[in-house]
Amino acid sequence: MKKVISFVLNSDPVDILIEEHKALVDVLRDDLNLTGIKKGCEAGECGACTVILDSRPINSCLTLAIEVHGHEVTTIEGIAKNGKLSPLQQQFIDKWAFQCGYCTPGMIMSATALLDRNPHPTEIEIREAIEGNLCRCTGYQKIVEAVMAAAAEMDWEATDEQK
């Protein structure tokens, strides 16, 4: 059956007709053309499809599209504001924290959610935040360095819910 869902997507309100049995990852990628979100396993085991749902990082392949009705979704496409890369995205570039780039959107989403909640994470907290994001290229070291550098550089304001 088809239903209309309304939600906020990357700060913009969206109304879209979906089929109830569709996964969020497919609606975002195929119907809303947000192909920055990647598919690596379609089973919640790799994190390539990570998006932020109301401040929480989740696997969009383990989410039905209908579940986001009335909620707020942020994807990799919504991280840069007015064309300006976030400090974390810039650190990914400066620290050479990606190679093939396929896991990168998911990594940035998990790390962004972490920094929003915990502006000064330790290394172990960073690794735990990205434990669900598999990377086959980098060995994770420069990704961790990029997140630490972004945390050190910016005065992140933790949102009230996480305080």
Partner 1 sequence: MNRNDDRTYFRKPEDYRIVSGKKSNYVHVDAYEKVTGHGKYAGDFQEPGMLTCKFKFSSHPRAKILSIDTSKAEALPGVFVVLTGKDFAKGIEVSHVGARKKPDKEILVKQYVRHIGDQVCAVCAIDEETALKAVDLIDIEYEVLPGLFDAMEALDGNSVDVQCYGKEPHNVGPCCHQQGSIVGADIDDEFARAAYVQVNDFTTHHICHCPMETHAAFVTYNSADELWTVRGSCTSSFGVQNTLANTFGKSVTNFHVIRPYIGGAFGGKGGCPNIVIIACECARRTGRPVRFVLTREEEFITQQGRHPFNIHSETAFDSDGRIIAKKAVQILDGGAYGEASVASVNLSALWASFPYKIDTIDILSKRMFTNKSYNGAMRGFTCCQVAFSQDLMMEEAAEHFNMDSLEFRKISALETGYKAPSGTVITSCAMKQTIDDAAAYMNWPECKKELRPSEGIGFSSTAFVSGTANPLLPTPNQCQTNATVRVDFHGVVSLYSNCHDNGQGADTVSTAIVAEELGLDMSDVKLIQSSTFNAGYDSGSYGSRVTFLGGNAVRRGAVEVKKKLLECIGAKWGVEPHLLELIDHKVICRDMGKEDLEISWKDAVYHYMTCHGGDELIGVGSYYHRTNTAQYQGKPSNYAPSYVFSTSACKLTVDEETGVVDIHDFFFAHDCGQALNPRAVEGQLEGSVYSGIGYTLYENLIEVEGRQMNNNFHDYRIPTALDIPPIHTKYDYPPEPEGPFGAKECGEGTTAPIAPAVANAIRMATGIRINTLPLDPEHVWRMLREQKGSKV
Partner 2 sequence: MVLPRFECLAPKTLEEVSQLLVALGSGAILMAGGTDIIPPMKDRAIKPDYIIDIKGIPGLDKIEYDEKEGLKIGSLVKLFDIQTSELIHKVNPSIAQGAKYIASTQVRHKATMTGNICAAVPSCDTGPILVAQNAKLLIHGAEKNRELLVKDLFTSVKKTCLEHDEIVTAIVIPPLAENEYAATINFTVRKAMDLAIVGTGAWLQMDGEVVKDARIALGAVAATPIRAYSAEKALIGRKLTDEVLDEVSIAAMNDSHPISDVRASAEYRKDMVRVFVKRVIKKALQGYEGDHI
Which of the listed partners (partner 1, partner 2, none) does 62 bind, with a CB threshold of 5 to 8 Å by partner kind? partner 2
122 near partner 1 (CB under 8 A): no
From CA 154, how far away is CA 78, in angstroms rounded? 19
List beta partners, residue 24. Answer: none
Alpha carbon distances (Å) from 139 to 34, 39, 58, 78, 159 = 27, 20, 22, 26, 31
66 binds partner 2, rule: CB under 8 A: yes
Q: Which of residues 25-84 bind partner 1 (CB under 8 A)?
A: 29-30, 33-43, 45-46, 48, 75-77, 79-80
By beta-carbon proximity to partner 2, the closer residue of 61 and 146 is: 61
Q: Could you tell which of partner 1, partner 2, none binds residue 64, using a CB distance below 5 to 8 A set by kind?
A: partner 2
Query: According to CB under 8 A, which one of 26, 28, 73, 97 is a site residue for partner 2?
Result: 26
137 interacts with, out of partner 1, partner 2, none, CB within 5 to 8 A per kind: partner 1
C-alpha span between 60 and 40 (Å, rounded):
11
Site for partner 1, residues 132 to 161, rule: CB under 8 A = 132-144
- Selected binder of partner 1 within 55, 67, 71, 99 (CB under 8 A): 99
User: Are the C-beta atoms of 72 and 14 separated by less than 8 Å?
Assistant: no
Q: Binding to partner 2 by residue 104, rule CB under 8 A?
A: no
CB 113 within 8 A of CB 52: yes
Question: Which one, of 95, 110, 78, 98, lies nearest residue 150 by Cα?
Answer: 95
